[in-house]
Structure 1
């Protein structure tokens, strides 16, 4: 698109965001954000997938600060657009650099975020996992909120989580005001009572206190967990701040220790919270994180991609060796980044060496058995003339029931090795290595229908 001068519209940008998300290219995707943030309100729904992809990558890279900033932008820029009444200067197309901005000969993609083509041949659909479109606005899903809570809790930054919630609550929407109560309720359900208490205190100090039900729920949880000292301290705090009625007979005892069983049950009934959807997602995300690749893997994958793109092979290999030293399992993206770099430089021998690593990883990790990886290997072995490896990959693809495009392989063979061993017989071979090579070439020619 950059070479022929085609301008990317909203649909195209959404497709690009999906591709960058699949390849873990967060920095490439971030280049589009400042332009997309300026679109008018009617076009916001078209960029739900873009914000979904970018937020997903922030979480994958364990960048809680970037994720928090993006969340505030999602809630903030829509409010600013409404306040401005969408009165802006006429939009113009803009350019986004592909790859490093420092490359003199680098390509630039022309985009027009304010444009929406009606004759798109591909619809990305609505993959609303982290960011949803509701009532004309983009909002966070409970899964995204669960990821934020987990990462803030892990880093011990509950105060920053409270500030984020305050910032969202000040936007004034019903969804944002309910979010704070949901977070406190989820923390109580998870048994994180101190965190729930800290959030309530932070919200109160920021001038955005929640209603009495959240405090009563925490009070109930303290009582049910026999944390009577904390319950009494919270009760005094609530009476002093006027959040609850000091004359309420249910809360009249001077000490929580003196509460009757009937009063406890009534208090529990008033403040009880079923394990809601947010708490469920917190549990699910904590389980999923145990099986997910570490954020360090995504950082190293991007380093390998960047170095190979710049033809800095030694640095890319160094990043790959670092991954091995840290016992981080390489992914399909890891090997594809390395293969792309080697292939662009015609380093086919290095690809055969890398193939050994790929096979060793495939033995223990079945998710590496993808058709894209096999086919890219096959094409490079074919171009490099490693027909033993070609037939080996073909055999593995057959074992896994993968489609083999014989016409494409035949075309590649004729392009690079059209007359190879046509007039040489096996008996003319000078050694065993050449004998095997001639046999592999003949087997391949027969397989693709040339003989």
Structure 2
């Protein structure tokens, strides 16, 4: 609407301007222009309107102009003539511009689309609903970063102006789906949250595919977990009455087992196992029942978090459940054994291994008898010779997963997305992505293997067990275990037995006393020890110059009737000569001659070691050497005390948790991130314990500077939540700095919501009060910094 008034007189319904008249001068003040563009032309003096001057400059400067002539230049064009020049005001028809925008969208001319949209937005605001949604869908279909960002910014501006009724639910869902598929988890989750906020609830089948794509990255998996916790909170403790018809759209959004499994696996793959534990605790609260995959995911979560009792309880249930497949049993026993090793429970671990070997022997016997029966009946189709364990269809490789990711399901067009009302194709895509994530989890199983469906311990498991026995000095228990394990294993040559390889490894590492003790234990058990072991140990004693041990070992070898080889005698003779024991050297030489020992037999041990090193498959000896040389000794006490502290915090017995922490430190165990995470979440659950968390934060910073403790995302996120909830913004900003320094993802939407919920009116007035202490000033500044960080200031 543009009108011109001169001394109160109105000249027309289309042009609006105010003229103030003095004796000789006319002033033009253009108040409002809608649907017009301004052109200026002519020669201007220094103080006159510049060419292309903006409307703002006209408003601000109110240039002096000579008596004005109004010239009509068409139905939508006006010319303001002055002595110094003219300003042309030309209008464009909004309906025509809208038509051009629609045509540009149809023809996929996205540069023109955005230019026309900006022009229309300046004239009339947002275009009508159909064109706006069409524009967003076309931008999403490009999968291009530039247009996806523009689509996201457009959605944000619509919500900022509270005009979300212009956006259709299907359009927002499709945009969220494409953003997640294009690895933009933050904007994808923001759109889903906005849908929930305006009560346009998407069905779980639709939003689960968004979560599935988000869970492919570390940051996306973390935000996906936060999203499920937020949605799950709506359904906790039967808050939604399913009998009311008005609640049906909300109930259709309720998370199901599949979406929980997807996000749980994502958390496990990217190391946020404590967030996975929160999800597991949420499942029974909203009535979600676990399936067979959920049970295995539970096992992984309990093992990572050190919840051994929960894992034992789960074992009782899994042993009675026949619905699990071979690979699922393999994963469960891998988790169980890893947990036993982390806690230093070698008795339980060795018992599981021996039980596994016994069951494997029985299964082999059954397989062999079944094969013989089939062959007698003229059927060799199912014989074990025709089976190849490496061709197990359930086993996946990293190469196969990479190929599956590169050739995954292509994204649907917007038309296909809208046509599939029940989201059947999305449901198929979700299950494919879940299977891919589960396959990645299966690749991390390294302690248990499966052959023809028979579970067997791997060499890495043996290496970890042997290392743990040796580190704790339990030589007798180790000997008993490896002797029983040798009996339970499938037949192997004497040189390749577990006992021989363990002793050889001890000798090569210089653990001569342990090797000698193991040989003694075997001799006491009535097992004949190979002469190569005595020879290699004697040579090692000679090099270490330990004459007493040499004498003792020689006596044991003679009692056992073991004949030493020539290389061993040579090493003994050389040792006696170096000790200036010439008589002893001569006696050994005579003994060697009388025994007629051939020099051809002195390569037995060297050949054994070389064969182990050169073999295509890494043997037990190589694995054990690798494990021991890593030098990472597990502090089992930390796991034990973390378990105790977690139990007290879960029951909200914080005084007992504090006592347990003091006892843990008194015993010399250093708390880690998991210890502090349990305490922080425990204090937060109790409510109002913000001062205690602040003190704990100070202890953590001191500990991190003086030890190897590292802050992980889960710990920092729990701290940030507690500080924001309690209004401790100085501490919250410290945590934010640490998160950003570590390039960790921060869910700003979550913290903006928390701030608006609990501190909406805090420091709303931008001007600071006249009288305030230095502490009050710091708190105010910290709060304003936080508000600016979350986009509220």
Residue 141 of structure 1: aligned partner:
458
Structure 1 residue 29 and structure 2 residue 311: aligned? Answer: yes
Residue 538 of structure 2: aligned partner:
222
Following superposition of structure 1 onto structure 2, how do residues 23-422 of structure 1 map, counting pairs within 5 Å?
A: 23-38=305-320, 43-79=325-361, 120=435, 122-123=437-438, 124-134=441-451, 136-174=453-491, 178-192=497-511, 195-196=514-515, 198-199=517-518, 202-203=521-522, 209=528, 214-222=530-538, 225-226=541-542, 229-230=551-552, 232-239=554-561, 257=589, 258-259=591-592, 263=597, 265-272=599-606, 273-274=608-609, 276=612, 277-289=619-631, 291-292=632-633, 294-346=635-687, 347-365=689-707, 367-422=709-764
| 1:358 positional shift | 1.3
| 1:425 positional shift | 4.0
Residue 88 of structure 1: aligned partner:
none
Unaligned runs of 5+ in 1: 86-116
Map Cα deviations across residues 403-447 of structure 1 (whole Å, 9 max, x no partner).
332211111111222222324741155433333333322222222
| 1:336 positional shift | 0.5
What is the SS of the residue equivalent to 2:792?
A: coil
Distance 1:81 1:425, change over 3 A: farther
| 1:313 positional shift | 0.7
Q: TM-score, normalized by length of structure 2?
A: 0.46
Inter-partner Cα distance in structure 2 for 1:331 and 1:420: 35
Map Cα deviations across residues 377-399 of structure 1 (whole Å, 9 max, x no partner).
11111111111212222222233
Inter-partner Cα distance in structure 1 for 2:324 and 2:647: 36
Bigger RCO (CA 8 Å, 6+ sep): 1
Inter-partner Cα distance in structure 2 for 1:264 and 1:228: 22
Inter-partner Cα distance in structure 2 for 1:299 and 1:61: 7
Q: Is the 8 A contact 1:222 1:230 kept in 2?
A: no
Residue 259 of structure 2: aligned partner:
none
Map Cα deviations across residues 319-374 of structure 1 (whole Å, 9 max, x no partner).
21223334432211011011111111112221111111111122234652322222
Inter-partner Cα distance in structure 1 for 2:674 and 2:524: 46
How many residues align structurally? 410
What is the SS of the residue equivalent to 2:764?
A: coil
Inter-partner Cα distance in structure 2 for 1:391 and 1:180: 57
Inter-partner Cα distance in structure 2 for 1:351 and 1:164: 47
Structure 1 residue 3 and structure 2 residue 345: aligned? Answer: no
Inter-partner Cα distance in structure 2 for 1:3 and 1:18: 21
| 1:189 positional shift | 3.1
Distance 1:381 1:284, change over 3 A: same
Q: CA RMSD in A?
A: 3.7
Q: TM-score, normalized by length of structure 1?
A: 0.77
What is the SS of the residue equivalent to 1:132?
A: strand
Distance 1:279 1:344, change over 3 A: same
| 1:80 positional shift | 5.1
Map Cα deviations across residues 180-204 of structure 1 (whole Å, 9 max, x no partner).
3322332343344564455456556
Inter-partner Cα distance in structure 2 for 1:359 and 1:331: 12
